[in-house]
Structure 1
Amino acid sequence: MFYPVQYEGQEQSENIFYTGAAPNQQAIPAVEYLMSPEGGSAERFVLLGTDYVYPRTTNQILRAFLQSKGVADSDIMEEYTPFGFSNYQTIVSNIKNFATGKKTAVISTINGDSNVPFYRELGNQGIDAADIPVMAFSVGEEELRGIDTSALQGHLAAWNYFMSVKNPTNNDFTKKYKQYALDNNLPNADNVVTNDPMEATYVGINMWKQAVEDAGSTDVDKVRISMGGQTFAAPSGYTLKMDAENHHLWKPVMIGQIRPDGQFDVVYKTPEVIQASPWSQYIPK
């Protein structure tokens, strides 16, 4: 079984291969970027998410991480909303007041359709990315496709892959997917996009193929052993590796800035892939 999306960590199974990011491959590097001069030197943080396990656990990790960096509890605002929430007027007003006096950034683990009214309300209240940048962990090319991105322009997202990265492998990957969409009459085939979970799935399937070939069998136990240590030249432009011990991919981290066309300008990326830490040091064992 593959798990191709980012998640909160705190688990590990011999029967699962995690091709999405662990918190140290997305959440923590994103906050480190916001704290850096390049990311705006944020001193105050809003942890805003949808009320379920991924945002709650991720923010537990981030709160402890921020405290380890000397950020006081009074400089951390944490709030959760139900699935499908759309009335962000009061929350955005509170964020605006909270940001007074110190450079502030929002860490967003808002899920799905609720992102649109949130960003719209930021615009309604005159807050743009230069004032209070939003770093999203669940907003990518697919979420931005076909919507008005005027309220989102300049805000940030942290992933391990963006469609806009330039390299021959990604050029081939995106072209093949677009042709597949056209050939199979997929909905909106003319403007399909690739994104991080798609790349993670693509890498996982290809690693499974390599593992089957190396094992000379599709037997589950043999393939499981063969998967450990597999490498693959990914569309991200990096060679990814499957960790034989914890079954998580070694992945790069990228920070993208939202463009008017719904794509991302990559403003930061790690020089090398990062080993996943599924069990966070910031949560007591």
Structure 2
Amino acid sequence: MVSSTTSRSDSWRVGVLFSRTGLMAVTETEHFFGTALAIQEINQAGGVLGREIEVIAYDPESDPATYRRLADRLLTEDGISVIFGCSSSAERKAVLPAIERRNGLLWYPSLYEGFEYSPNVIYTGACPNQNSFPLAEYLVRNHGRRVFMVGSDYVYPRESNRIMRDLVESYGGEIVDEVYAPMDATEPCLRDLVARIKEQSPNVVFSTVVGRAAQTFYRLYREAGLDPATLPIASLTMAEGEVQAIGAGLCEGHITAATYFASLRGASNRRFADDFRRAFGPDRPISMWSAGAYAQVRLFALALERAGTLDTQRLVEAALGLSFEAPEGTIQIDPDNNHTWLTPRIARVRRDGDFDVIWEAKAAVKPDPYLAVSPLGARWIGDEVPVS
């Protein structure tokens, strides 16, 4: 257990559940550091309403069952009602019954597959209409019709690929194959997968392989002689930290659709990046995982200042409609669905491991987790803000 401050009766006590070990350690460590930076800054500025935020944090070791157990522990033994945590959808779905049963509040910073709403969750990551929609059109228009889909075998990749299949086909493309690998896929398994891609000769690969397996997959891809210049892997999750872990030279040319990249220009991102490097060192990668986790804590602080209480219902009511100038730009919690307005972007990995943004939307996009409004085949590319 890690506590950010000495326990005090007048502090705001919150829980943090991000893995520092296990298959998702790279991504979730970035979530953890973004969360820690925001809490540190808030406390150094005097806290919220004169009271510091006190943290009880556990390492769930990338295991959904451990997430479930530790969420229960926070909500019962530790007396916590607000939790910042979870990266994968498997983790979120593991803790959701405990959160709802005990009327807690989960702040969830990761992109996900959509088709969920809980009054006990604030979703601050992208849903499909904020990343998959523009990416599908971009890939078909710029790389070709034949798309190979590969993913880790759990709910997020399967649901994301279902959406991507519909999108690609709506833009006149075709899915040439769809393959899944275990979360803990071995190198021989992933080598076979790369060979299958090579055999199918698609125009582009859409990958929802995550965690340690994704790092191995990207390495084997280049070792097999597959060139991102002619056959890139497109992802919603491959960010700066994993690029660093794999090696920038092996990732150059691959594509990610996300709402934040460390290379974004703008005063808010420069401040965040400077503060992050001062806190954790110049070599620590900055990505959508750390930036998103940071932004949601700052939104929580604004809601807490407005509500004056950690009571779940009053805190949620205070959060709805709030906006914040995040590292990626202005974001806002949508009062209709507890999700967040975000700006879609598409970027390509550079030789130095950073990303060049090659497309971005004109403004933040309303979240549509159930795809109730956004029609398949809606035109995105061509309506973008030019990016140099």
TM-score by length of 2: 0.65
Kindly report which structure 2 residues correspond to 1:147-162, keeping only aligned pairs within 5 A, or say none. 147-162=246-261
CA distance in structure 1 between the partners assigned to 2:167 and 2:318 by the alignment: 35
CA distance in structure 2 between the partners assigned to 1:155 and 1:248 by the alignment: 28
Is the 8 Å Cα contact of residues 144 and 262 (structure 1) preserved in structure 2? yes
Kindly report which structure 2 residues correspond to 1:150-229, keeping only aligned pairs within 5 A, or say none. 150-181=249-280, 189-229=281-321
Question: Secondary structure at the residue paired with 2:206?
Answer: strand
Moved over 6 A (4+): none
Residue 248 (structure 1) aligns with: 339
**Pick aligned residue for 1:50 from 152, 160, 182:** 152
Show structure 2 runs of 5+ residues with no match: 1-105, 377-388
Is the 8 Å Cα contact of residues 20 and 197 (structure 1) preserved in structure 2? no
Question: Secondary structure at the residue paired with 1:151?
Answer: helix
Show structure 1 runs of 5+ residues with no match: 182-188
Instruction: Give a deviation string over 1:176-210, Cα, whole Å, max 9, x none.
Output: 111112xxxxxxx3411221122222221111211
- Among all aligned residue pairs of Structure 1 and Structure 2, give the percentage whose two residues are the same amino acid: 31
Is 1:79 the counterpart of 2:171? The answer is no
Q: Higher relative contact order by CA 8 Å / sep ≥ 6: 1 or 2?
A: 1
The CA deviation at 1:133 is: 1.3
Residue 11 (structure 1) aligns with: 116
Is 1:61 the counterpart of 2:201? The answer is no
Question: Secondary structure at the residue paired with 1:145?
Answer: helix
The aligned length equals 267
Distance 1:254 1:206, change over 3 A: same
Is 1:132 the counterpart of 2:231? The answer is yes
Distance 1:115 1:233, change over 3 A: same
Amino acid in the other structure paired with 1:202: Y
Instruction: Give a deviation string over 1:55-91, Cα, whole Å, max 9, x none.
Output: 001111111222333334xx43100011232233332
Question: Secondary structure at the residue paired with 1:150?
Answer: helix
CA distance in structure 2 between the partners assigned to 1:67 and 1:51 by the alignment: 22
CA RMSD of aligned residues (A): 1.9
Residue 271 (structure 1) aligns with: 362
The CA deviation at 1:235 is: 0.8
Is 1:115 the counterpart of 2:207? The answer is no
CA distance in structure 2 between the partners assigned to 1:219 and 1:91 by the alignment: 48
The CA deviation at 1:231 is: 0.7
The CA deviation at 1:276 is: 1.1
The CA deviation at 1:146 is: 4.3
Between 150-159 and 274-283, report the one with greater CA deviation.
Answer: 274-283
CA distance in structure 2 between the partners assigned to 1:217 and 1:122 by the alignment: 51
Residue 186 (structure 1) aligns with: none
Amino acid in the other structure paired with 2:146: R
Distance 1:94 1:31, change over 3 A: same
TM-score by length of 1: 0.87
Question: Secondary structure at the residue paired with 1:97?
Answer: helix
The CA deviation at 1:26 is: 1.4
CA distance in structure 1 between the partners assigned to 2:271 and 2:226 by the alignment: 38
